[in-house]
Structure 1
Amino acid sequence: MKTFLGAAMVSLFSLTAFAQNEISYTVSFPNAIHHEAEISMYIPNVPAGTLKVRMSRSSPGRYATHEFGKNVYHLKAFDGTGKPLTVNQSAGDVYEIPGHGNSVKITYTLFGNWIDGTYAGFDETHAHMNIPATFAFPLGMDNRARTVKFNYAGNQNWKVATQLKPQADGSYFAPNLQYFMDSPIEIADYKTASWQVKNTDGKMQTIHLVSHANDDQQTIDNYTTMLKKMVDEHLAVWGEFPTYDYGHYYFLHDVYPDNAGDGMEHRNSTSIVQRTPKIAGYESNLLGTFSHEYFHSWNVERLRPKTLEPFNFEHANMSNELWLAEGFTQYYGNLLLTRAGLKTEDNAIQTFNGLVNAVLLSPGALNFSPIEASRYAVFADAGVAIDQTNKANIFTSYYTYGAATALALDLRLRAEFKLTLDDYMRALWKAYGKPEIAYTVPDLEKTLASLTKDQSFAASFFKKYIYGTEKNDYAKLLLNAGLVLRKASPGKAFTGFGRLTVQNGRVILPQTLIGTPAYQAGLDVDDVLLTIDGTAIKDLETVNAVTDAHQPGDVLNITYLYRGVEKSTKLTLAENPALELISIEKTGGTLTAAMQNFKTSWLGTQVKSKTTN
């Protein structure tokens, strides 16, 4: 009894000390109609010396920097008695309070009018908050717990939805800064539906659809039925659910045509912002984001690259592994909707066709590796720049590049080892995801070698296709499933002009791509086409007509304006390189039983075969 009481006293002391160090926020919306929120932060037990408070410059789920501090103003500080304190703004998003007592209260106004997964938005219909865009935080206190309360008395129908833990006093709790920053919040008159899932350990968890949309409850319920099918296919890949903190997972769904649009994964929730009038009538189009983001609750949130640990809120983490973290997720996001019967097989084939075209034809993939594409994310992932870049020639999205790599690995594992990419993902989950051990690229190679029992295969695959720029033989691999990869327009002339724009009768070039006839001819962005082969160019129809009248290998005389000066060049037409992926039957060939079985095991539902194991 003495020992028990002693332990209880120690536990009580620890909880008391924990509470005494807790950083608490209060948020109110007196001017929501003009997109403002009023935020206060109370910091107890402030250490001696200058207190530094800052806004984040990065956000979980994003890989570039964002200047969240630009929307903060009227920031003030007070001591425990309410006396104003001196605040020095040492950087755009950093504030220093040199003299203070034991406790400090910070207040500020935040403007937010951008509804997506990265920023914050306030109006009379809702408060949509990504935490790094909303809450300032003190430096050096990352391990302290956080609580937040919301005052929205004038909006009687509003309700709070978040993965933060609800408290008896109406506040919401996070154990530390990392968890707090990873917990988006939606406050609105939303509709919701939920269902329970049983994990392999027998414990029940609840998945919630929370939709702020112009739809009735029946639409939400019907959409939830579709999401259940999707979730079942995700479970079939991994073999078990993650253990969601507090037993809940939330789809925070915001639907309105003027939204910015986005999908942003978090540990026990995802923020999905979509730009349609409502859910009803658009269900199938909206599912892709749900599937991608839900896959992240395994891949990225728990199966996590070491380069993202810990997440840095002062600048972007540079990661080598986004080709797997985002790219493999992109591959599965679409594949699992097909397996669930929510997308057709033709939809899947069309998606694979886009992946193969991108990885085989884009300069970014031809000249840069998946790792290099991942590292460029610090500039590419919703990063903002006003100057032109050479992005089209040096970068292929790690989403696309990684998804194409996943496609090749899946097909090779099936053809060469009688394994699947599902097996590989489960092996990674067992080794690194479930125990939450951050991985490196060598760890990924090691797991592939262990799974296949073929060290040379794993070493070769990573050397050629992950560290290097070689490409898999997609035509050979896809033929195993009765899919033929071939030229989409054989013998058709190709200029490489890209997506031309027409302004007041002037046909203007975009940035031209390395290796195309237009690039080789010295044509570049903002050049204005004047004549092709002696024909005056005033519209896109004329460009197409002149091109179609020629064959690959023909040389065209072109005149154009470069910075207002007329110039001329010669362009040698090439054959259109675009590829198409079609079923073998459409080519006049025969779909063999082996091909059909291969395709069915790949694109067909896995729920029965996996969940009964």
Structure 2
Amino acid sequence: MPEPHTHYFEVEMRLSGFNKKTVDLKMPTWAPGSYLIREFAKNVEGFEALNGGTKVPATKINKNTWRVSTKGKDLTVRYKVYAYEVSVRTSFLDASHGYINGTSVFLYPDGQVNLPSTVTIVPFNGWTKVSTGLPSVAGKEFTYQAADYDILADSPFEIGNHEIFTFTTNGVPHEVAMYGDANYDAKRLMADMQKVTEEAVKVFGELPVKRYVFIVQNLQNGGGGLEHLNSTTLQATRSTYGTERGYEGFLNLVAHEYFHLWNVKRLRPIALGPFNYDQENYTNMLWVSEGFTSYYADLIVKRSGYTTVKEFLDDMAAGITSAENSPGNKAMSAAESSFNAWIKQYRPDENSYNTFLSYYSKGAILGMLLDLEIRKSTNGAKGLDDAMDGLYDEYYKKKGRGYTDNEFQEGMEKAAGHSLNSFFQKYAYGVETPDYNAYFATVGVQLVDVNKDSNDPLLGAGISMTSGKPVVTSVTRNGSAWQGGLNVQDEIIGMNGYRVTEDINKIIPSYAVGDVVELVVSRGGQLMILPIKLLKNQTVKYQAQMLPNATEAQKKQLQAWLDSKK
């Protein structure tokens, strides 16, 4: 990275022992953990191959493959990678630091991902630190070993002058590489991250790594993370640590990505490993891989003592409210949402709200309901922790492979002690609405819809002020705006004979259900009048409350559910 301000990594790849006349070198099209074809080869430039210092033919034969002549001798390949996308899923380089996510930088010989490699990082002049989950080569600075390409691709690098602090969990050293200025207290953060990781370990009873690395990038605008085999990359806004809610949110992100150390990186759907880096790797089970992880992140933060019972239940109720108000919740099941991740999750449009509910949110709800079902069925003797630990032991530790859809269901049923086929068919593979209170009664909790008796109208359209003009950004299926013919990108000029200069959703509550509002809109420069009959607001707004007559047994179940696992 001799000129980091130009955003180019310069890569040299040396291959030895290849005896065929040619070798095909490939670059992945996607990054495991982020289910979208990203076409990383688009950022490769200046590809050349040398044999003993002499250039040899190198031809690109498809979008991500170069065929190189070896002449039966050792080979050196050189290329540059443009890296200037701020994301945990891609690579980035500028004058302040470098970040390498392996799938977007490293090539591999076709069909030989099992080959080991040694990687040497040459930091820019003045940069003194490299953080990665790969083990170091003794006696060689910034040199690391990867047992195979999967591990190389799954071990990001943070390069620069970042702050490093460490803590130990279950005897395993954890490194935190903090890039960027931010308002965090390192001593407090170190202690709290340690507590979160300790709570996560209790679910499975073991920590299956010898070392773990958190790469944290503090940015002007940032958020999200990506899991790896023994590390993770997290992005946060610089100010996120300054409020208790923001700080709690960061700990939730830590818990989420750390829980992936088990759920996905080891306990996984059978389709997610070994990877096909050329194309989509389809599975119905991302609602478990990501949704359960989201549920456990909330649970781990609660068990660690950073949220109260009320805060946990409020967040739970808000998640259910959001899901039940989304038309996409009735249009696509959790399994379908998972399978369609490649074309839906990372490619939202103005109609996504009507057609798609993220497997993160839907899966988190289903994970919680399964937890409560298992607790109810076993009278509190078991919960989702036991089911997940049982699957981890069976498929990761004993069989060394991922689970099928049916095997996952069987693992849940084993913990519950009875068939869960109805649950899976209705809620995971179907779109029926669960009887939430039938599940929450187990822990003495009830959901109350505070909108139940309201008779307010709702337009059913999202509106944003664009250059001072109210423009429609979304239209809710079967709502007032939908039925009245309002379109996304319509500019609202007037309503009922008056000029409009604000979001009319602020005005709609002054009308009654059944009233007709006459909108003047500009659609592609053409003025038109749309009479829209206002329909009743059908959205729910759930609050979680303790049952006034909750029994001691229900209170005990609530405590066992939300308290630290002993």
TM over 0.5: yes
Aligned counterpart, 2:297: 333
- Aligned-residue offset at 1:412: 2.4
Q: Secondary structure at the match of 1:106?
A: strand
Aligned counterpart, 2:174: 207
Aligned AA (1:160): V
Aligned counterpart, 2:559: 600
Alignment equivalent of 1:241, drawn from 206, 221, 224? 206
Aligned AA (1:229): K
Q: Does 1:127 align with 2:89?
A: no
CA distance in 1, matches of 2:497, 2:95: 60
Aligned counterpart, 1:107: 78
- Aligned-residue offset at 1:405: 0.9
Bigger shift: 287-296 or 433-442? 433-442
Q: Does 1:197 align with 2:156?
A: no
Aligned counterpart, 1:180: 152
CA distance in 2, matches of 1:568, 1:212: 52
Q: Secondary structure at the match of 2:461?
A: coil
Q: Does 1:154 align with 2:125?
A: yes
CA distance in 1, matches of 2:553, 2:493: 55
State how many pairs are aligned: 557
Aligned AA (1:399): Y
Q: Secondary structure at the match of 1:510?
A: strand
- Aligned-residue offset at 1:485: 2.5
RMSD of the TM alignment (CA)?
2.5
Q: What does residue range 203-602 of structure 1 map to in structure 2 within 5 Å?
A: 204-214=171-181, 219-238=185-204, 240-244=205-209, 247-257=210-220, 260-277=222-239, 279=241, 283-382=247-346, 388=349, 390-418=351-379, 419-435=382-398, 436-455=400-419, 458-479=420-441, 480-488=443-451, 490-504=453-467, 506-540=469-503, 542-545=504-507, 547-563=508-524, 564-584=526-546, 589=548, 593-602=552-561
CA offset digits 1:297-327 (Å, max 9, x no partner) = 0100110111112212112211110000000
- Aligned-residue offset at 1:536: 3.8
Contact 1:207 1:249 in 2 (8 A): yes
CA distance in 1, matches of 2:25, 2:471: 48
Q: Secondary structure at the match of 2:21?
A: coil
Contact 1:242 1:434 in 2 (8 A): no
Contact 2:19 2:70 in 1 (8 A): no
- Aligned-residue offset at 1:389: 6.4
Aligned AA (1:525): V
- The TM-score normalised by the length of structure 2 is 0.92
Aligned counterpart, 1:22: none
Aligned AA (1:175): A
Contact 1:215 1:280 in 2 (8 A): no
Aligned AA (2:492): L
- Aligned-residue offset at 1:504: 4.8
- Aligned-residue offset at 1:459: 1.1
CA offset digits 1:164-198 (Å, max 9, x no partner) = 12112342111111111111111222333333333
- Aligned-residue offset at 1:94: 2.4
CA offset digits 1:94-146 (Å, max 9, x no partner) = 22224644111111122212232111112233221100111122212211111
Q: Secondary structure at the match of 1:151?
A: coil
Q: Secondary structure at the match of 1:379?
A: helix
- Aligned-residue offset at 1:594: 4.7
- Aligned-residue offset at 1:493: 2.2
Contact 1:337 1:343 in 2 (8 A): yes
- Aligned-residue offset at 1:534: 4.5
CA offset digits 1:533-561 (Å, max 9, x no partner) = 45443212x5422x212233444444433
Shift in CA distance, 496/312, structure 1 to aligned 2, threshold 3 Å: farther
- Aligned-residue offset at 1:580: 2.4
Contact 1:358 1:401 in 2 (8 A): no
CA offset digits 1:21-68 (Å, max 9, x no partner) = xxxxxxxx1101222221100011224233222221111211111121
Aligned AA (1:104): L
Contact 1:491 1:552 in 2 (8 A): no
Shift in CA distance, 434/381, structure 1 to aligned 2, threshold 3 Å: farther
- Aligned-residue offset at 1:274: 1.7
CA distance in 2, matches of 1:284, 1:167: 37
Bigger shift: 344-353 or 438-447? 344-353
Aligned AA (1:221): K
Contact 2:168 2:194 in 1 (8 A): no
CA distance in 2, matches of 1:119, 1:128: 8
**Residue ranges of structure 2 left out of the alignment (5+ in a row):** none
Shift in CA distance, 465/537, structure 1 to aligned 2, threshold 3 Å: same
CA distance in 1, matches of 2:150, 2:302: 35
CA distance in 2, matches of 1:368, 1:402: 13
CA distance in 2, matches of 1:529, 1:60: 43
Contact 2:275 2:281 in 1 (8 A): yes
- Aligned-residue offset at 1:84: 1.0
Aligned AA (1:491): S
Q: Secondary structure at the match of 1:208?
A: strand
- Aligned-residue offset at 1:590: 5.8
Q: Does 1:65 align with 2:26?
A: no
Aligned AA (2:173): T
Contact 1:487 1:580 in 2 (8 A): yes
Determine what percentage of the aligned residue pairs are the same residue.
25
Aligned AA (2:528): E
Aligned AA (2:193): L
- Aligned-residue offset at 1:492: 4.5
- Aligned-residue offset at 1:293: 0.3
CA distance in 1, matches of 2:553, 2:499: 55
CA offset digits 1:507-532 (Å, max 9, x no partner) = 22122122322222222211233444
CA distance in 2, matches of 1:196, 1:445: 35
Aligned counterpart, 2:14: 42
CA distance in 2, matches of 1:524, 1:249: 50
Aligned counterpart, 1:137: 108
- The TM-score normalised by the length of structure 1 is 0.85
Aligned AA (1:250): V
- Aligned-residue offset at 1:567: 3.4
CA distance in 2, matches of 1:277, 1:539: 30
CA distance in 2, matches of 1:362, 1:543: 18
CA distance in 2, matches of 1:237, 1:140: 37
CA distance in 2, matches of 1:485, 1:452: 27
CA distance in 1, matches of 2:546, 2:72: 76
